Amino acid sequence: MSGREWAVERLAGLEVWTIDGEARRNALSRAMIRELLENLARVRDDRSIRCVVLTGTVDKAFCAGADLKERATMSADEVHHFHQSLRDAFRGIESAPQAFVAALNGVALGGGLEMALSCDLRIAAEGAEMGLPEVGLGIIPGGGGTVRLPRAIGVARAKDLILTGRRVAAAEALAMGLVSRVAPAGSLREVTLEVAGMVARNAPVSIRQAKRAVDGGLHLDLDAALAHENRMYQDCLATKDRVEALRAFAEKRKPVFTGE
Ligand code: COA
């Protein structure tokens, strides 16, 4: 299956969505965000898809941020509309029941890094670089960058990146906690699919609830966060998959999860 902006590949329990915009270094165009929203709506209730990988086709570029050529042709109203749909798309990734993994095959700049920040996991190719260059363009990161980056790596490090606009290489990104793994040269797909496959083998409701527990509990006080975690946990107890896991353990076999 392939759209114009994203190539969609279906594998066991997961999908790989690959940005296919070589001429503009995979920059975020209106058509691309529209198609991303369509893809998010398509998988939202599909329990057979437990994990989605976002990556880019272009050698060296995951995503060069906003499409600056398209942006130059847009009216103020169009920019406003585009920006809202971009924010909706990134929020859609974050709130999706599936786990999202960004496989950063090359530079992730501006909105490209913000899209990766809305994913649950980020894996960088050895040569990848990341940055939020917006202050050098007369704007600020407005696709969630000033909100999600400090949550991911802490305020001091986030301000270091946001206020300088500098790019960090994969090794520094790993040390900062901006990515959770760096794949050795030539092995990004293999490493990413191994991680995505491990996620996809787990119970879908557990993935959804664990994601909600972490994201929703992060900025609550301790008691509220523990109460939130407990609510997320309770929702797993009524599932058939929990019973299946216990049965599989007793029968010394791997569980077969259905998402119910
Ligand atoms: N929007 C639109 N087109 C872009 C783009 C963007 N964000 N980034 C790159 N392109 C286009 C270039 O204009 C160029 O098009 P051309 O061949 O018609 O001139 C083509 O992609 C290749 O760019 P080039 O700079 O030659 O490729 P590169 O591999 O050497 O470098 C980048 C890639 C992404 C590092 C570099 O292009 C860059 O820094 N882009 C701007 C990133 C940015 O500031 N994004 C905005 C964040 S808010």
Give me the CATH number covering residue 65: 3.90.226.10
Distances (CA, A) of 233 to 95, 227, 229, 241: 17, 10, 6, 13
Long-range contacts, 8-12 (Cβ 8 Å, 24+): 8/39, 11/193, 12/197, 12/200
CA of 182 to the centre of ligand 1 (A): 24
Q: State whether 31 and 142 are in the same domain.
A: yes
Alpha-carbon span 199 to 142, nearest angstrom: 30
Burial 107-119 (b: 16+ CB within 10 A, else e): bbbbbbbbbbbbb
| pLDDT surpassing 90 at residue 3 | no
Q: Which atom of ligand 1 is nearest to the CA of 67?
A: 1
Strands 6-11 and 14-19: antiparallel
**Protein residue with its CA nearest to atom 44 in ligand 1:** 133
Within-domain flag for 220 = yes
Q: What percent of the chain has pLDDT over 70?
A: 99
Instruction: Tell me which of 5, 15, 129, 134 is the catalytic residue.
Output: 134
Query: Is the C-beta atom of 86 inside 6 A of ligand 1?
Result: no
Q: How many CB atoms lie within 10 A of CB 20?
A: 16
**Residue 136 binned pLDDT confidence (cut-offs 50, 70, 90):** very high
pLDDT tens column, 100-110: 999 999 999 99
The verdict on 217 and 166 lying in the same domain is no
Judge whether 215 lies within some domain.
yes
Q: Is the pLDDT of residue 2 over 80?
A: no
Spacing, Cα 70 to ligand 1 middle (Å): 12
Per-residue confidence band for 60, with pLDDT thresholds at 50, 70 and 90: confident
Are β-strands 99-104 and 121-125 bridged in parallel, bridged antiparallel, or unpaired? parallel
**Co-location of 172 and 229 in the same domain:** no
1 — pLDDT class (breaks 50, 70, 90): very low
Burial class of residue 242 (count of CB atoms within 10 Å of its CB; 0-12, 13-18, 19+)? middle
Is 70 one of the catalytic residues?
Answer: no
Mutate to test the pocket of ligand 1, among 22, 25, 29 (most ligand atoms within 8 A of CB): 25
Q: What is the mean pLDDT of the chain?
A: 96
Instruction: Name beta bridge partners: 54.
Output: 17, 102
- Same domain? 104 vs 151: yes
Cβ 66 under 6 angstroms from ligand 1:
yes
- For residues 96 and 195, membership in a common domain is answered with yes
Is 114 an annotated catalytic residue? yes
pLDDT digits (tens, 9 = 90+) for 188-213: 999 999 999 999 999 999 999 999 99
pLDDT band at 59 (very low <50, low <70, confident <90, very high): confident
* Residue 92 pLDDT > 70: yes
Q: Are residues 209 and 182 in the same domain?
A: no
Q: How far is CA 50 from CA 11, 185, 196, 209, in A?
A: 11, 27, 9, 12
Q: How far apart are CA 16 and CA 101, in angstroms?
A: 9
Looking at the structure of the chain, the number of domains it has is 2
CATH of the domain at 245: 1.10.12.10
Domain coverage including residue 211:
204-250
Split at pLDDT 50, 70, 90, the class of 7 is: very high
- Separation of 168 CA from ligand 1 center, angstroms? 17
